[in-house]
Amino acid sequence: MDLLSAYRDMLRIRLFEESLLRCAKQGLVPGSIHPYTGQEAVAVGVLGARRPDEWVVSFYRCHGHALAAGCSPQRMMREILCRDGGLCGGKSGSMHLADRAHHLLGSTSIVAAQLPIAAGAAMSAQLDGAGRAVLVFCGDGALGAGGAYETLTIAAAQRLPLLVVCEDNGWQDQTASRWVRHLSPAQLVSGLDLPHVEVDGNDVEAVHDAATAALAACRSGAGPQVVVAHTYLRDFHAQLGDQPPRQYRPQEERQRWAARDPLTVAAGRIPADLTDLHAEVAAEIDELLLSALAAGTPDPATATTGVSVTTDLIGAHR
Ligand SMILES: Cc1ncc(C[n+]2csc(CCOP(=O)(O)OP(=O)(O)O)c2C)c(N)n1
Ligand SMILES: [Mg+2]
């Protein structure tokens, strides 16, 4: 992979979200934001290995996945600020980004709900016979939910071309995963006898290599594969309204992970001065934020358009 370009993509996600968090503190973001800061290497590493016509399913922490899938940062910023020209017409906000043009099937706010949806898409890809995989991202908490077992077991039974990327940040909102489960995500999927690999989720090159191998296995008919990426949220679980939550994780733990920030890890391997790149990406984000803030809000008359399907889907497949 081109490390400099991966660095730029991670930096764009980081600055995009930092600018949104500043907006949220000023009360400009309707609803909540679940920042991806600190986990950028997972999205960029995995989606760099995807073919553009392979569907991706995300969850509420979806900004990084959507940007790495190629969605327009301008349209995303407008969407999250609920402005005209938003990716989903200003109706999804931060948590439900979807973009058919970039094969982002959708993002769910219900923990683990993305997994069965992705299994359905993988079944469709399998029937389609074009050798495409489907990628789904989930948290370490989601992997413990009932829907995850149902998805993984049916995916294995049907040998679905499904790549499950578990972003193991050690926490489930303000609950440490170790307080509520005695098995790690890798132990859980081992118990289901599923092929899986554990990777340093803050090392974009390692993530990319793991995802490349797992996707090749999915496409070749080897059935579902799981990549467990160990990573950490730099900020916090979510910001609702203008108040960031009080910090709930031990300072020592946060400092330990901050020293292994994915941008720092990648920068350490790039023999170039990155100052200009930072200024360039920061200017790009400032520009699109100003443009989004200058945009109007959607016409209330459009509230009910595009929210349900009127096609006879069953009839269309008969
Ligand atoms: C079914 C369901 N239960 C509870 C919640 C509330 N909730 C939102 S995020 C979250 C934690 C999920 O943790 P994890 O899967 O590890 O993902 P992370 O937020 O750490 O990325 C919970 C419990 C929810 N959205 N859906
Ligand atoms: Mg988690």
Determine the distance separating the centroid of ligand 1 and the alpha carbon of 306, expressed in angstroms. Answer: 27
The bridge status of strand 134-139 relative to strand 56-59 is: parallel
Q: How far is CA 3 from CA 6, 203, 271, in A?
A: 5, 11, 11
Give 108's strand partners: 59
Q: Is 61 in the pocket of ligand 1 (CB under 6 A)?
A: yes
pLDDT surpassing 70 at residue 278: yes
Q: Is 114 in the pocket of ligand 1 (CB under 6 A)?
A: no
Q: Quick one: average pLDDT of 145-154?
A: 96
Give 230's strand partners: 168, 200
CA pair distance 140, 4, nearest whole angstrom = 29
Q: What is the pLDDT of residues 46-63, one digit of tens each?
A: 999 999 999 999 999 999
Q: How far is CA 251 from CA 33, 234, 247, 257, 258, in A?
A: 22, 11, 9, 10, 10
Q: Quick one: average pLDDT of 156-183?
A: 97
pLDDT surpassing 90 at residue 246: no
Q: Is 172 in the pocket of ligand 1 (CB under 6 A)?
A: yes
The pTM of the full predicted model, rounded to 2 decimals, is 0.96
CA pair distance 36, 67, nearest whole angstrom = 11
Q: Quick one: average pLDDT of 250-279?
A: 97
Determine the distance separating the centroid of ligand 2 and the alpha carbon of 40, expressed in angstroms. Answer: 14
- Choosing from 59, 96, 172, 234 the residue with most ligand 1 atoms within 8 A of its CB, the one to mutate for a pocket test is 172
pLDDT surpassing 80 at residue 172: yes
- Using the atom order of ligand 1, give the atom closest to the CA of residue 172: 13
pLDDT recorded at residue 284: 98
pLDDT surpassing 60 at residue 114: yes
Task: Give Cα 174 distance to the centre of its chain.
Answer: 20
Q: Quick one: average pLDDT of 206-212?
A: 98
* Residue bearing the CA closest to ligand 1, atom 17: 139
Question: Which amino acid is it at 110?
Answer: I
* Residue bearing the CA closest to ligand 1, atom 18: 139
* Residue bearing the CA closest to ligand 1, atom 12: 172
CA angle (18, 201, 257) in 5-degree steps: 65
Across the chain, mean pLDDT equals: 95
Domains delineated in the chain = 3-295 (3.40.50.970)
- Under the banding of pLDDT at 50, 70 and 90, the label for residue 314 is low
- Under the banding of pLDDT at 50, 70 and 90, the label for residue 19 is very high
pLDDT surpassing 70 at residue 312: no
Q: Quick one: average pLDDT of 150-170?
A: 98
CA pair distance 303, 62, nearest whole angstrom = 23
Give 104's strand partners: 56, 99
Task: Give Cα 107 distance to the centre of its chain.
Answer: 8
pLDDT recorded at residue 241: 81
